[in-house]
A and B are shown apart, each in its own frame.
Chain A
Amino acid sequence: MLVSWKYKDRDTLYQSLDPRARLIFVLVLMLALMQVWDLRLILLFTAAALAQWLSSGLTFRETRTFWLIMLGFATALSLLTLLTGNGGWGTFVDTHIIWQGPWRWMTLSSERLAFAVAQFTRIVTLALFFAPIPYTIHPARYGVTFKGLGVGDKFAVATDLAFRFVPNLAHDFQTTMDAQKARGYELERAGGALKALRNLAPLLVPVTIGSILKGEDVIDAMDLRAFGTGPRTWYHRLVYRLRDYLLIGAAVVTFVLVSVLNLGLATFGDLWVPEVLVRLAS
């Protein structure tokens, strides 16, 4: 069983940016985006997310799974919210009723339709902001990236180790499955969900317990090298450049601007209902 990370080295502007700057950028913009339901404002964030995506050099072919899953998720979430009630913490009240079903919750209004479109766009935008991360950060750089973001040495090392353990554990899993199959084990044995779960025990238990016991060697090796007694140095060094500061600055300014306007103006960021939808109700 081969584990392949989605990361590829690309000579793109996006990948030339410091991974810390990219993470701060998307996290801060996420906090800003979460404050608005106005589709016109959300589309500005969508444009930024698309610009980020295009600058990352990712192709549809290599990200097909992400698009399929994400669009399916956003569509289903918006549709179910449209059908089951008002979303968005009292963002709107059904004022312009287009259709009323036999039950009170079965209401189709201009506001609900506008909210569904805004919600769909916001979910897609949020997912789009985070999507390039696994494709553009080298698996061996996560530890030093988190360390650079202020996470303690121990957690940064644990992150690094986790990425390194993945191929080994996938290999152990394959070896265990082969050994169990040689003893007559069938993963796909017929049965309900409960039986299917129980069937996994002969695979799950040896791999888990075996990896914990093997971890003792790693613990001993680290202890012998005095792990945790002082600050660590890292093989890779991350250095912020002007473009990284600009990226972080743009995100922070956007967040402050959106937050201040949201607090100061009574209707800023509220749901926008286009006139064409209001006319549908009349």
Chain B
Amino acid sequence: MATQTGQSASGTGNKWIKPLIPLAIIVVVSVVLLYVGGLINVMTSGEGSAALPLSSWLFSIVAGAVVIYGLYVGFADRPIWQVGTREVVYMAIGAALYGVLSWLTNFIQLPSISLVSLRPAAVIPVFFGIAFGPVVGFFSGFVGNVLGDALTGWGVYPLWDVGNGLMGMVPGLMLGFRNRERALNTLTYVVAGVAGLAAVLMLLNWNYTVSDFAGNEFAVGPLVWIPILAGVLVVGARYLFAKNIDTAAAVVWGALGVIVGMGFAAFGGIIQNGTSPGAAFFGEFVPAAGSNLLAVAILLPILLSAWTSAQARSGR
């Protein structure tokens, strides 16, 4: 315990300075690249000014850096982000378990276009996130996916590794709330509020059109059923599990983790691999998130219940 206390004290002292150097490097490199790019643009086209592309981007770069710095300073010393010996060992166990269990189940392939498999082991990073915090959850998912793919001989896919990490990290954020009921209620209100606001805006702007990636324009009004359905599902799930708040909170936050993590990996493919949104959604997101959601909904309550009993028995 003395170890952890000492580390957190020193970590707190550095939190204002620690992120400045990497952020400064990113800002300087971005500005230099933009400036040189602007110069080449002027030399080749012979018109405009080199300052134009730089000044139009500079605000975005600095604003992004300020936001990241603010988030780091605001959240870096929260207890849920601290890593001691216990977390190091649980990170390793979570990653190894996820790797081994993924390897065993990677052979059960679901129909999809990507390396998506029926992976009951998806419950492992979610469980480790909920039980031991977001850092342990992220590490279990990220390194566990690398291990599973390495054991199977599939290669390394950074986008899916990060996606699996997020799948473990997001549920761990619920430990930042005072209790699980509060975590569940906050998430329910946020989702219901955002869905409600989106639905109202879409109804008020029924004929407002947006362009898809192909340049085709479509009205947003007819899509109003999407936020309404999402809101109804989340609020319904909240009250369906009203008798067991702990399980409900874990399953709802776990589901959010699966959606965010698999969404990141699937839709990140639009940038990395140039997939169409349709291919990313139906070919990658639906099979990956669908099977993982099933695994979380069925296996997470069983694991949590067993862990609660084991904790009571071991006295830890």
Contacts and interface: CB of A to CB of B under 8 A. Distances in A.
Interface residues of B, number: 87
B279 to A, nearest CB: 4
A194 B303 CA distance: 16
B33 A260 contact: yes
Contacts of A84: 276, 278-279, 282
Contacts, number: 269
Interface stretch (B149-157, B163-171, B184-192): B149-157
Contact of A77 (B89, B273, B294): B273
Interface in A85-108: 85-91, 93-94, 104-105
B3 A229 contact: yes
Does more than half of chain A's interface fall in helix, strand or loop, or is it mixed?
Answer: helix
A223 B282 CA distance: 48
Interface string B36-65: 111111001100000001000000000000
A213 B294 contact: no
Among B121, B153, B282, the most chain A Cβ lie within 10 Å of the Cβ of B153
Interface in A156-192: 157-166, 168-170, 173
B272 interface: yes
B115 A69 contact: yes
B225 to A, nearest CB: 21
Interface stretch (B69-77, B193-201, B306-314): B306-314
B38 A263 contact: yes
A216 interface: yes
A260 B156 CA distance: 28
Contacts of B310: 209, 212-213
A199 B88 CA distance: 31
B118 to A, nearest CB: 7
Interface string B257-272: 0000000000001111
Contacts of B95: 158-159, 162, 165
A197 interface: yes
14 contacts: A5-B150, A69-B155, A86-B276, A87-B275, A158-B89, A162-B93, A166-B96, A173-B100, A211-B97, A212-B93, A228-B88, A229-B3, A264-B40, A266-B45
Given A73-B115, A119-B275, A126-B273, 10 more contacts: A30-B158, A80-B276, A81-B275, A81-B276, A134-B149, A158-B139, A163-B147, A165-B97, A208-B127, A259-B37
Interface of A: 3, 5-6, 27, 30, 34, 37, 63, 65-66, 69-70, 73, 76-77, 80-81, 84-91, 93-94, 104-105, 115, 118-119, 122-123, 126-127, 130-131, 133-134, 154-155, 157-166, 168-170, 173, 193-194, 196-198, 200-201, 204-205, 207-209, 211-213, 215-216, 218-219, 222-223, 226-229, 256, 259-266
